Amino acid sequence: MRQDHIDNSYFLWGTDPWDKSSLELNAQMRGMPSGVPTDFYYMTGDARFHMESIRFLNELKGNLESLHARLIEQEREYNERMAQEAAHRQAEEAARARAEAEATARRLAEEQAAQQRAIEAALQLAQRQVEEAKHALALRKAEEARAKKAESRHAVEVTFGPEASREIDNAIKALRGTIEIAITDFSNAINAHGALGLSQLETIQHMSVTH
Report CA torsion sign: 36, 42, 44, 47.
negative
Residue 15 CA to residue 143 CA, distance in Å, equals: 137
Q: Is residue 34 classed as helix, strand or coil in its secondary structure?
A: coil
Residue 180, Cβ density class (10 Å: 0-12 exposed, 13-18 middle, ≥19 buried): middle
Residue 30 reports pLDDT greater than 80? no
Asked if 35 and 120 sit in the same domain, the reply is: yes
Full domain range(s) for residue 186: 161-211
Asked if 8 and 85 sit in the same domain, the reply is: yes
What confidence score (pLDDT) does residue 47 get?
67
Q: Who's near 12: CB < 8 A, 6+ residues apart?
A: 48
Asked if 29 and 108 sit in the same domain, the reply is: yes
Asked if 208 and 146 sit in the same domain, the reply is: no
Is 190 within 8 Å of 196 (Cβ atoms)? Answer: yes
Asked if 92 and 174 sit in the same domain, the reply is: no
Report CA torsion sign: 112, 113, 115, 119.
positive
As for how many domains the chain has, the answer is: 2
Q: Which helix (H) or strand (E) holds 15?
A: none
Confidence of residue 196 (pLDDT cuts 50, 70, 90): very low
Residue 174, Cβ density class (10 Å: 0-12 exposed, 13-18 middle, ≥19 buried): exposed
Most confident of 12-21, 122-131, 167-176, 193-202: 122-131
Asked if 103 and 56 sit in the same domain, the reply is: yes
Asked if 142 and 172 sit in the same domain, the reply is: no
Q: Which helix (H) or strand (E) holds 45?
A: helix 40-159
Asked if 118 and 64 sit in the same domain, the reply is: yes
**Could you tell me how far CA 88 lies from the centroid of its own chain?**
30
Asked if 142 and 177 sit in the same domain, the reply is: no
* Percentage of the chain modeled with pLDDT above 90: 25
* Percentage of the chain modeled with pLDDT above 70: 48
Rounded mean pLDDT, 107-133:
88
Asked if 132 and 193 sit in the same domain, the reply is: no
Residue 57 CA to residue 63 CA, distance in Å, equals: 10
Confidence of residue 138 (pLDDT cuts 50, 70, 90): confident
Asked if 71 and 82 sit in the same domain, the reply is: yes
Asked if 189 and 203 sit in the same domain, the reply is: yes
